[in-house]
Structure 1
Amino acid sequence: MNDLVAPEQVVQAATEQGIGREVLRKEDRRLLLGQGQYVGDMRMPDMVEVAFVRSPVAHARIAGIEKPAGMEHLVFTMQDMQNVRPIVAASALPGFKRSEQYPLANDKVRHVGETVAACIAPDRARAEDIAASVFVDYQELPVMADMYGTLNSDTRVHDAWSDNVFAETNVDRRLQATEEAVIHVDRKLRMARQCMAPMEGRAVLCWWDTRTDQLIMYSAAQVPHINRTGLAECLGLDEGQIRVISPDVGGGFGYKGILLPEEICCAWLAMQLGRPVRWLEDRREQLSANANCREHGYDISVAVTHEGRLAGITCDAVVDSGAYSSYPFSACLEAAQIGSILPGPYMMDSFVCRTRSAATNKPPILPYRGVARTGVCFALEVMLDIAARELGMEPYALRARSLVPADAMPYNNITNKLFDSGDYTTCMTKAVEALDWQAWRTRQRERHSAPSAEGAQKRIGLGLAVFCEQGAHGTSVYHGWGIPMVPGYEQCTARFTPDGVLELRIGVHSHGQGLETSMAQVAHTVLGIDIAKVRVVHGDTGMTPYSTGTWGSRCAVMAGGAVGTACEQLAERIKSMAACLLGTDAAELTLEHGTVGMSGAADGKRLTLAEIAHTWYRAPQKLPVGAVDPGGLEVVAGYKMVPDAGTFSYACHACAVEVDTATGHVELLDYAICEDGGVLLNPLIVEGQIYGGLAQGIGTALYEEMPFDSEGQPLASTLQDYLLPGAGEMPPLTMLHMETPSPNSKYGQKGIGEGGAIAPPAAIINAINDALHELGAELTECPANPRRVLAALAAARKEVRA
């Protein structure tokens, strides 16, 4: 276990800039003034732009490709890239089937939008004209566009496979036989396929630097070090020959966490042409051609005692993984996690779960904010509300009988997840009270009993959802899931410049998380340095230590721990230098307000950090040989939690909705969140993360869906068809914080970046079902768009008539 700094000690040590303080983000000035720099802002002499020929069909053999006459030198196919290897993201899970995704289609296309040829020109418009002139002879094959249909199909997405399943997992945890009588609630639930929609799409700019003999790639990416590894494998280069730089990135959410075929193509073109090559993804490409997310299906049963205790869960889950296994997370991350996290924050006697990652003729799936947790929270929490209605209980009363109690922490749950700390029941109670649940119940009864047209047409419903989120996953967790990218020690390089500026070089990358501010706050807490004097360097494999990157709510815990550890080592070196200069013992010295000296000394003699740095670099004769560390004012420190099972933040979301039974429209009337992220490095940043996550969760619950027809054609290829929530769809929100320190992280902090997006679909669907259950209607799919609401009402009326 790491030494834990108690929250009150952190606050005592910090000034208004330290851990726990609401500091405005340093990076916002440049971003709000339009001074950020994105790949789309970058231009280089002699640069060419790339447009891709993309498959218009979901499944076909390529009989031939005809380049336009006179433009053959401007069009490139996989035949031109003979020495380039395909993308392979293989999992170590037993029975996993490998897929090979070529940068440009080799002999088959397996989804609409797959890259077939790359066309170059001085500008994108001319490159697109050339792409439109390329003729591809497609010999169409049967299409598997439904994940359930593909499981029993004789047609194969990948010819050599025995079936269309990347991998199957099975979990059987039967701790004891349930002695009480139980009721079983069974449903088939489904979550729609989605597209992520970051404001900035993927973007790549490559060139070959002849001076350094390196491929330089600027890429809108979350995991630059991982991308470099993937590029090296595909291009046959050593990693030292590749430098990947992620500049300002306009949102990631998981979409920018994989290696793209387009990145490999641009890199190869830059090497072949000897000139800069750029590709900027447009919105149609982003929506219709590249990776999707979500799309889970659950055949689930929960057993609940007559007193409302959760006795057990049985589930058969299918995830539509698309045509290829995405590098590095693989095609099985979502499904493999279902088998370990579906039990959520609850105690139970039995858990049996089968999962399958289905291959279909759709774009690959990848982890989206919340990853599998959004799906499992939706599945379990909807079932618990259905069970509560059958028992005539309030949903929070039923949950209270099975939530892991605070006095049981730390707690090993039924799938051996180690819950580090927390009070789930209090969190739920606070959210219910913040919503004023009972007042809404009164309004609901008054509305539904009113003889007016409004009472009959516009119905009020209440819903809630509780979840816990494992963040900062460690080595053992990812190794257990068979993922080819296993995190180890997170590192930080910390050094002072000769004028006393502190440089922090971290391997994670910030694309909205505020890391330039929160990491400076950690440094301030240890060294007392003004955060204006802290420079955070990230997103550059040539300047930062190796890291698996930004994903899985890990930065505050892992990078924060590495920064704190590095700054502690720097502090010791600073004190030893100051001791020489002040003629005292280093143990007597303290660091505060950017100075070092003896606390309470009569003469008050203190040295500034800038004076110490000046001495080391420019007046070293003042420091006796052997009295100070020869490493000076630069350290590299690693951090890893022990145990490395991750941290468990958690929250309860509660909401009130109004459902118009005539139109199917759902309006969010009120919303409350109580969350616990341990010690919050910066509560202001945390609240921003939760607000943003809530907006995305509302999109999942009510609006966002990427439907495909039976031929695998995407039916929402513009933002006119793919609906996103805006400011007008955000409800009134009450947000409460609990801060239960994790005993396993350096400052008691927990990962929380994804939490806001996890619970909204479950809470909102539960509220809709609460509004409609007296009419016999029930939704089992999301998003709960008007069509689905009206269909549920029509099915209920039909059942009554029958």
Structure 2
Amino acid sequence: MNDSKDTQAVVKPQGVGARLRRKEDVRHLQGKGNFIGNMQMAGLQEVAFLRSPVAHGSIRRIHVEDAARDNVILREAMDCADIFAPSTLPGYQNSTVPPLASGKVRLVGEAVAMAFAATRAEAEDYAEMVQVDYDELPVYANMHDARKAQDHFVHDGWNNNLFVQLKSDVKFEEAAAKATRQVTHSVSLSRQCMLPMEGKAVLAYWDHQSDQLVVYCGSQIPHMHRTGFAEFLQLDQSRIRVISPDVGGAFGYKCVLHPEELCVAWLAKTYRKPFRYMEDRREHLIVGANTREHEYRLTGHIDDAGRLLALEAEITVDAGAYSVWPFTVGLEVGQALGNLPGPYRIEGYRCTTTGVATNKPGFMPYRGVARTGVCLAIEQLMDAIAREVGREPWEVRLDNLVRAEDMPYVNIANKHYDGGDYPAGLRRALEMINVQEVRARQRTRKNGEPLLGIGLATYTEQSAHGTSVFAAWGTAVIPGFDQAMARISADGSLELSVGVHSHGQGMETSFAQIANEILGIDVSKINLTHGDTGRTPFSTGTYASRSAVMSGGAVSRACKSLLPRLLHIGSHMLGVSIDDVELVDGQVRHGDRHVTVADIADAWYIHPQKLPPDVDPGGLEITVGYKPKVDTGSFTYASCAAVIALDPHTGIVKVLDYVVVEDCGTILNPLIVEGQTIGGTAQGIGTALYEETPYDDAGQPLASTLADYVMPGAPEVPNIRIEHTQTPSPNTEFGAKGMGEGGAIAPPAVLMSAVNDALKDRHVLVTRTPMTPKRIMEAITAAGEHSAAIDIDQPTVAAPLREAAA
């Protein structure tokens, strides 16, 4: 206790909105991170997998050489269940994912046998002592052939190759009847990988002291991983502990249960020894090519000014061979159906989305889940409308965007937009790139100079959507309340515990800022525990841009619940009424007298004689659950614009300028928000211009090394300029909204618009990502030769403008 009047030092703000450097960066920059690849254990066995060289075939015979019999496992020896990902979506066809192939393989790279030894090299040697004979079956290397199949389906017992087909029809006929014109446009995205720096990583052992299976895995969802292990290994959850240490990136790749993880957990359960599997880069490029492959055919029913009155769409997703646990293919299909209208006012909507099974890796949720595709599709339709009515593309968009005076706004797909000014964001993005000056430079371009192009897009990012939304999508696990534990230690420091887990979002910093905002405890004295099911309250995990809103909200509520306990004890120690004190900068104050949080903690733990007789017996520790007021999600939005230079002789695109005007509600930490936006934008540039896993007719992946699979590097990523607006959500703590996926949503739409704008005088449209130099040059050549539109099913998808817009 300090009764004297102190001269208050100027305290650097550390709460909500402070631009603090991330606490967790220190250990990573000093090489002190704790990753699964760094771990060492006595008797650790390394695991390798023998993988199928064929895309679709029956397994006729597997022969294991005698020298490898004690070190090789086949599916028939594993007493665990196949991974089963059910869905309640209508018409959904169930399938299972075997931990090791049994009877049939469905993609190149599917694991058929696993081997283990003291080193990875020895394990691979044992795997090579296994010979597998296959009877090859018809291969479905693309979604169109798969839809036409009459027999030999990807999954036995199905009557076609469709996982699921969803439909929506809302006021379409009456809205379309008002239209005076129709515009049809098609676009598609190629299949790609997520490519975190760390691939799949799992180490499991049996803890004899606790009599538990302990599984270390790079996970976004440790509590859900435990749920999955328990279900498919047929163990009580109390017998399993999942720990996720530092995670070297994820982007959605680590929010599902992978067969390899189940295999390693089964080994540890069965042999009571430690086992580890680390995915190498080639395995990831082959088996991890599992996202983004969408095709869209959109028809806009418009008036003469370009107002989009009704939208008609057919969306097809190449879902690969397996539906992943727990989200299933239905998540991607459902997100596409629900988010296609985006930020626009549309009166009528008719859409069919189909998830098609093919002989490729099973589709997984990647940063931006479906919204990257729907943003590309709706924004290219806006460009097509602008061409049809002879207006600038931004003029048409401004006429169609949801207006500020309409907020809060429930759109045609029943998305609840909670606030913001979409047109203002677009106008500011146009100002930032100086759109009129760029138009003037286009008009005065000299021969030999690159073509300039302007691209723009506005997107909405549904974040922190909860129980009702996921229940409608029919996923195996439905998110409910997120919980947080807050405990003040005897020295006045604060321990926080949450069930979500960070893979680069800076939670250790932002959650400390939330606590500081309420309790005033210095962030250096706040410690966050996450990623350990044995030490944290339950959460379904980190995905869908939900962590800051859900677990951050739980941290806020937990700290607010501790606040009256601190005030009660502090006021008693000061000898005044609780109504006469306040908590400021970690001190309970009454006039010029105060006690610190550390003084109060000392009273609770060490000197309880100082406590009031009616003190709350819960003490200085509490666990609180939290859900936002509305669980349909908070909606971040942004407008992005870019200027590109395109060399018409080589097809090479250079991004000269890229701007983002983003509104994610109240910003917890601008430095972290900007880092997430820049990182996501870099990934989106990869989708737009570089990244692709093509397949031949036999289902063989043609980009199995980083010599074939091209990613953007530092020279390909421009200086991304970001401006913020802040429209607090009325439904969340502090008005925060999730934003971790947003940066990756817009770039394909922005850059495709820019490329086509640069080529507009040549009457060329490019309609498939990535927009490689080869694709662009083929498009230019096709237009120059007045050839027919190139079919969207072919590897090169580009067409003369006059025909593609027909």
Q: What TM-score results when the alignment is normalised by the length of structure 2?
A: 0.95
Q: Could you tell which deviates more after superposition, 299-308 or 761-770?
A: 299-308
SS in 2 for 1:117: strand
Could you tell me how far 1:68 is from its partner in structure 2? 1.7
Aligned to 1:172: 169
Aligned to 1:692: 679
Aligned to 1:572: 564
Aligned to 1:211: 209
Could you tell me how far 1:211 is from its partner in structure 2? 0.7
- 2:257 aligned with 1:259: yes
SS in 1 for 2:250: coil
Task: Find the aligned partners of 1:771 and 1:297 in 2 and give their Cα distance.
Answer: 24
SS in 2 for 1:720: coil
Letter in 2 for 1:95: G
Letter in 2 for 1:793: I
Task: Find the aligned partners of 1:596 and 1:62 in 2 and give their Cα distance.
Answer: 72
Aligned to 1:617: 605
Letter in 2 for 1:120: F
Could you tell me how far 1:330 is from its partner in structure 2? 0.4
For residues 486-505 of structure 1, the aligned pairs below 5 Å read 486-505=478-497
Aligned to 1:275: 273
Letter in 1 for 2:611: L
Aligned to 1:5: none
Q: Is the 8 A contact 2:175 2:310 kept in 1?
A: no
Q: Is the 8 A contact 2:37 2:278 kept in 1?
A: yes
Task: Find the aligned partners of 2:175 and 2:322 in 1 and give their Cα distance.
Answer: 41
For residues 130-141 of structure 1, the aligned pairs below 5 Å read 130-141=126-137
Letter in 2 for 1:229: T
Task: Find the aligned partners of 1:183 and 1:796 in 2 and give their Cα distance.
Answer: 25
Q: Is the 8 A contact 1:435 1:734 kept in 2?
A: no
| 528, 532, 548: which one aligns with 1:536 | 528
| 688, 698, 706: which one aligns with 1:719 | 706
Task: Find the aligned partners of 2:66 and 2:462 in 1 and give their Cα distance.
Answer: 56
- 2:51 aligned with 1:54: yes
Aligned to 1:3: none
| 766, 776, 779: which one aligns with 1:779 | 766
Aligned to 1:680: 667
Letter in 2 for 1:417: K
Task: Find the aligned partners of 1:14 and 1:91 in 2 and give their Cα distance.
Answer: 52
Aligned to 1:371: 369
Letter in 2 for 1:566: A
Letter in 2 for 1:287: L
For residues 412-561 of structure 1, the aligned pairs below 5 Å read 412-447=410-445, 450=446, 452-454=447-449, 458-561=450-553
- 2:691 aligned with 1:704: yes
User: Any idea what the Cα deviations from partners look like across 1:329-378, whole Å, max 9, x if unmatched?
Assistant: 10121111111110001111211000111001100011100111000000
For residues 281-300 of structure 1, the aligned pairs below 5 Å read 281-290=279-288, 292-300=290-298
SS in 2 for 1:168: strand
Aligned to 2:88: 92
For residues 733-772 of structure 1, the aligned pairs below 5 Å read 733-772=720-759
Task: Find the aligned partners of 1:591 and 1:198 in 2 and give their Cα distance.
Answer: 43
SS in 2 for 1:518: helix
- 2:790 aligned with 1:794: no
Task: Find the aligned partners of 1:587 and 1:509 in 2 and give their Cα distance.
Answer: 38
SS in 2 for 1:332: helix
- 2:31 aligned with 1:34: yes
Could you tell me how far 1:15 is from its partner in structure 2? 5.5
Task: Find the aligned partners of 2:12 and 2:581 in 1 and give their Cα distance.
Answer: 18
- 2:647 aligned with 1:655: no
User: Any idea what the Cα deviations from partners look like across 1:560-607, whole Å, max 9, x if unmatched?
Assistant: 110010000111111111122222222222112221122xx1xx2211
Q: Is the 8 A contact 1:224 1:539 kept in 2?
A: yes
Aligned to 1:226: 224
Q: Is the 8 A contact 1:216 1:244 kept in 2?
A: yes
Letter in 2 for 1:62: I
Q: Is the 8 A contact 1:14 1:528 kept in 2?
A: no
User: Any idea what the Cα deviations from partners look like across 1:388-408, whole Å, max 9, x if unmatched?
Assistant: 122221111101111111111
Could you tell me how far 1:622 is from its partner in structure 2? 2.2
Could you tell me how far 1:302 is from its partner in structure 2? 1.3
User: Any idea what the Cα deviations from partners look like across 1:490-535, whole Å, max 9, x if unmatched?
Assistant: 1100001111110100111111000000000000000000000000
User: Any idea what the Cα deviations from partners look like across 1:714-739, whole Å, max 9, x if unmatched?
Assistant: 11011111111011001233211110
| 358, 381, 391: which one aligns with 1:360 | 358
Aligned to 2:405: 407
Task: Find the aligned partners of 1:548 and 1:327 in 2 and give their Cα distance.
Answer: 13
Structure 1: which 5+ runs fail to align? 1-12
- Indicate how the Cα distance of structure 1 residues 70 and 179 shifts in structure 2: closer, same or farther if over 3 A, else same: closer
- 2:142 aligned with 1:146: yes
Q: Is the 8 A contact 1:321 1:332 kept in 2?
A: no
Q: Is the 8 A contact 1:14 1:525 kept in 2?
A: no
User: Any idea what the Cα deviations from partners look like across 1:182-232, whole Å, max 9, x if unmatched?
Assistant: 321112211100100101111001000011011101101111111110111
Letter in 2 for 1:621: Q
Q: Is the 8 A contact 1:529 1:592 kept in 2?
A: no
Could you tell me how far 1:800 is from its partner in structure 2? 6.8
Letter in 1 for 2:18: R
For residues 3-152 of structure 1, the aligned pairs below 5 Å read 16-81=13-78, 83-152=79-148
SS in 2 for 1:52: strand
Could you tell me how far 1:177 is from its partner in structure 2? 3.1
Could you tell me how far 1:291 is from its partner in structure 2? 5.3
Q: Is the 8 A contact 1:105 1:116 kept in 2?
A: yes
Task: Find the aligned partners of 1:233 and 1:358 in 2 and give their Cα distance.
Answer: 27
User: Any idea what the Cα deviations from partners look like across 1:104-125, whole Å, max 9, x if unmatched?
Assistant: 1111110111111110010001
Q: Is the 8 A contact 2:179 2:301 kept in 1?
A: no
User: Any idea what the Cα deviations from partners look like across 1:642-687, whole Å, max 9, x if unmatched?
Assistant: 1211100001110111111111111111111101011000011000
SS in 2 for 1:294: coil
Task: Find the aligned partners of 1:643 and 1:671 in 2 and give their Cα distance.
Answer: 34
Task: Find the aligned partners of 1:134 and 1:436 in 2 and give their Cα distance.
Answer: 63
Task: Find the aligned partners of 1:649 and 1:14 in 2 and give their Cα distance.
Answer: 31
Q: Is the 8 A contact 2:216 2:244 kept in 1?
A: yes
Aligned to 1:246: 244
Aligned to 2:623: 636
Segments ≥4 residues shifted beyond 4 Å: 178-181
SS in 2 for 1:401: helix
| 155, 160, 175: which one aligns with 1:158 | 155
Structure 2: which 5+ runs fail to align? 1-9, 789-799, 801-806
How many pairs were matched up?
778
Q: Is the 8 A contact 1:255 1:291 kept in 2?
A: no
Task: Find the aligned partners of 1:232 and 1:291 in 2 and give their Cα distance.
Answer: 28
Could you tell me how far 1:70 is from its partner in structure 2? 2.3
- 2:183 aligned with 1:185: yes
Letter in 2 for 1:543: R
Letter in 2 for 1:389: R
Q: Could you tell which deviates more after superposition, 482-491 or 505-514?
A: 482-491
Task: Find the aligned partners of 1:226 and 1:763 in 2 and give their Cα distance.
Answer: 36
Could you tell me how far 1:289 is from its partner in structure 2? 1.7
Q: What TM-score results when the alignment is normalised by the length of structure 1?
A: 0.96
Aligned to 1:394: 392
SS in 2 for 1:218: strand
Task: Find the aligned partners of 2:716 and 2:680 in 1 and give their Cα distance.
Answer: 14
User: Any idea what the Cα deviations from partners look like across 1:144-185, whole Å, max 9, x if unmatched?
Assistant: 110111011123000100110011100001164356543211
SS in 2 for 1:170: strand
Q: Is the 8 A contact 2:68 2:129 kept in 1?
A: no
Q: Is the 8 A contact 2:191 2:289 kept in 1?
A: no
SS in 2 for 1:194: coil
- Indicate how the Cα distance of structure 1 residues 167 and 800 shifts in structure 2: closer, same or farther if over 3 A, else same: closer
- 2:658 aligned with 1:666: no
